[in-house]
Structure formats: C-alpha cells, structure tokens
Structure 1
C-alpha cells in the first residue's frame, strides 16, 4: 500500500518532538521544527523532492542553522546559502551514518519511502540518529561565532559575472 505524505509528515514530527533534543522547539508548517538562540535560528525539516509520486515519497531530513548577514553579493548566491538577509549552514541526515553536505541519492541522504514498512524502518532508527548525529550538530552551532562562516563565491560565478578574468 502506498505511503501518503501526510502520514510520513506526522510520523516524523511525532518522533522528533518526542526527543529531548527538540524539547521546546516550535513547529513551523507541517514539516519543520525550529528554535531561536538569540540572533541564531536552528531547524530540522523533512524535505520532499520532485521525484515523489503517489506510490513513493523521496524525502530527506535536513538540518540548518542561520544567522543575519546583510552583505552585498557581487554575483548570484544560491538561496540555500543566503536568503532574505540570512546565511545558512545546512546538512542532511544519512540514516545510521551521520550528516552529509549534499542531499543526493548517491549519498543515501535521500530516501525512497514506498510503504508503511519502509517508513517504520526509517523512523525506528531516527531516535538513535538524533542522539548520535543531530543533537551534537546543533550543540556545535549554538553560538553566532561557531555558526558563522565566510561563503566563498565559486570562481566560475565570478568569471561569468566578469569580475574575475578567465584563466588561459
């Protein structure tokens, strides 16, 4: 029997809210929990991908920390790095193994949930993953000094904008 997105959202949020690491966090929409630590914001979100359809959901669990950053950028900066005056540091859960920087099928951070058994298998490991990987990651980035970083604009973007000459 296919898995409905609403069932998946509810299952993930129930498991996350039951974890001590997320005690006191606020719900934001159907798929996100977040909290503010001064100017810093932290969140965990169930992400659904375009490859999802009625009989399978392609999802990942992403975590982020953001902080205010009003710098003017000389070129386009992706929304996952800078959006609405905030810089973001992101990672994605690779069940049972830790966090990865990119959510790809190859990294196993994107899961294909086809039925209730797939969902239960994933949710059964979630408590351990929160304790071993998510909670330490959020603990590490609890201060503005730890969370902040300088985004390096890729040279190909600078070349495309005419700011940096092409290497010959």
Structure 2
C-alpha cells in the first residue's frame, strides 16, 4: 500500500492510501479550519515527489470537480473493509443521493437493522472513504451528528450540495 497527500480547497489536507488499483482509505490529516484556499493557490500538493498512480489522480480530479459542484457521484475503484453490518451500512450510505440527507435511524432501517441506529453511527465513524461514501449526508434526529473531518467540514459539504443553508 502507498500513501499520497493532497490539499484541496474547502477540505484541507488528506492522506490517500491506495494499492495498485484501488483507493483503500481517505484520511483527514487535520480538522477543517473553515477557510477556503484563495483563487490561484494550489489545489493539490504532493508531499513526496513523483506522479500519482492513476486511481489517485482520478480521485483527485473527481474531488476537485465535486468541490466545484461539477460532480455529484464518484466513479472510483475502492475496497471496503469491515464486518457484514458495517459494509451493509456503507453500501446504503453510498446510495444517498447528492443534496439529500437521511437520519441514522432511517439508514439503519434501509440496511436491514432498524434498531441498530447507534451502531450505524459507529459504522460511519469508521468509514474509511469519507466523501466518496458520503457519510456527511447522514444526520441525527436532533442535529447534524458527528463527522471525522469535523462539524465545520460536514456543514460545508452539506451547504455545497444544497442540503442545508
């Protein structure tokens, strides 16, 4: 497995882990500050010299398109890890359309475990492919809920998609 680093407007610093043909993980290196990069600033930064593998380059380009509101779905080859329950939750999360949100409770129901809404939150906390598997679109019944990239980033992504004002 290889690590690659990106800095993207609206998101911040990411560590991408890939194997030869798949994206394995996307990690937020630091919590989103809420400040966008100024126009003209670099939208990608590779900490190590060299060229990105094809799948990482594809991910970078699709993330940039998403942040410009030019992309609503990702076509990335990735590998999921986790229990059958976690994978069922992530599979259902991947089906949530751009611009829409669902509750943890509704997501648990869609995944076939209607009483497991708290475990659903834990499965999403362990989502290794945030944004691609859009766990930011899952909200609590009394608020936004949590997000590995921080609540500011969750709000930013939901605003970008028009889910919240």
TM-score, normalising length: structure 1: 0.24
Higher share of residues assigned strand? 1
TM-score, normalising length: structure 2: 0.24
